[in-house]
Amino acid sequence: MAKIDFGGVIEDVVTSEEFSLERARQVLKDETVAVIGYGVQGPGQALNLKDNGIRVIVGQREGGDSWNRAVNDGFVPGQTLFPVEEAARKGTVVQYLLSDAGQVAMWPAVKACLNPDDALYFSHGFGIVYRDQTGIIPPKNVDVILVAPKGSGRTVRTNFLDGSGINASFAIHQDHTGRASERVMALGMAIGSGYLFPTTFEKEVHSDLTGERGVLMGCLAGVMEAQYSLLRKHGHSPSEAFNETVEELTQSLIRLVAQNGMDWMFASCSTTAQRGALDWAPRFRDAVSPVFAELYQSVISGKETRRVLEANSTPDYRVKLEKELDVIKNSEMWRAGAAVRSLRPENRSNK
């Protein structure tokens, strides 16, 4: 592993220099990777593995939308695409990539299909860490490993195709074969990771649940709505409110942050913007810190897990979800967003 200075803290990371794709192929040459679930993470990871020369099959409920998507992506029923249990029996690495609620529902069937010395692979620590709620307790005769890409399944694929890769964490919960370390790093590189950093199942799920409820999704959506509503209340047009709240952030400023950091983004803006941001950032930090403290406690206590499992396991979950998403989609803010996006040059040129 390479030692990297992360703001004064030295951490170990694994890059392609320490663990090359060729080495990953050698480690996995006798493995069959069964990707169970073809929803969010499944397609990106399966296709990247396939393109990198790894023997990969997909397990999915037969005849559904995800099954058909796998067929459209080139997986062949009876050859590289099978019902879940058949794929799990055939795989020596079982990538368990169903939704968290789906993992709970399918676990008894999948557990029965695991063979001694298999590797049970997760991309989220949810099922293992909250096993008192999920019931997911692996047998002792398999490796239990994790590779968690720091992005959506779609980004796992698009970053792979453009050659950039995506950062991912990795962890080992159980090393039965003595090969869990090389297996997990090989799989991390084979799914297209830019680099890998070590964690634990517990730290991965605690940071992930906090992040997606916080800055990455929940907090972001909430503060956008608050600012947009404020501007509209004071007479600003929908297009102006949306541009100042979302469009400038996503199309300009966040890209500057991604390139060289927040300080560089500040330095690239006007002196008026710099002064205001420097003055107000601590006030926003102090205002939301109690909310984040409450959120983190809710995560580590298992309260968030219970909420997810209860909500996602109801028969009408999808119907309720669509209604909630439609509220966002049909709000003035995001209808204004659709209009703004349609005016981007690349979208206008396609008409």
Phi and psi at residue 83, in whole multiples of 5°? -55, 160
Extended strands (E) in the chain = 2-6, 9-13, 33-36, 56-59, 81-82, 93-96, 119-122, 143-149, 166-174, 193-198
- Whether 124 is a known active-site residue: answer yes
Give the integer Cα–Cα distance in Å for 176 and 171: 14
DSSP 74: T
From 105, 84, 90, 89, select the one nearest 42 (Cα to Cα). 84
CA–CA distances in Å: residue 294 to residues 74, 161, 236: 45, 39, 34
Tell me the two tokens of residue 145: 């490993």
- Asked if 81 contacts 57 with a C-beta cutoff of 8 angstroms, the reply is yes
Give the integer Cα–Cα distance in Å for 329 and 218: 15
In 3-state terms, what secondary structure has residue 110?
Answer: helix
The active-site residue, picked from 124, 173, 176, 206, is 124
Burial class (CB in 10 A: 0-12, 13-18, 19+), 87: buried
Q: What is the set of active-site residues?
A: 124
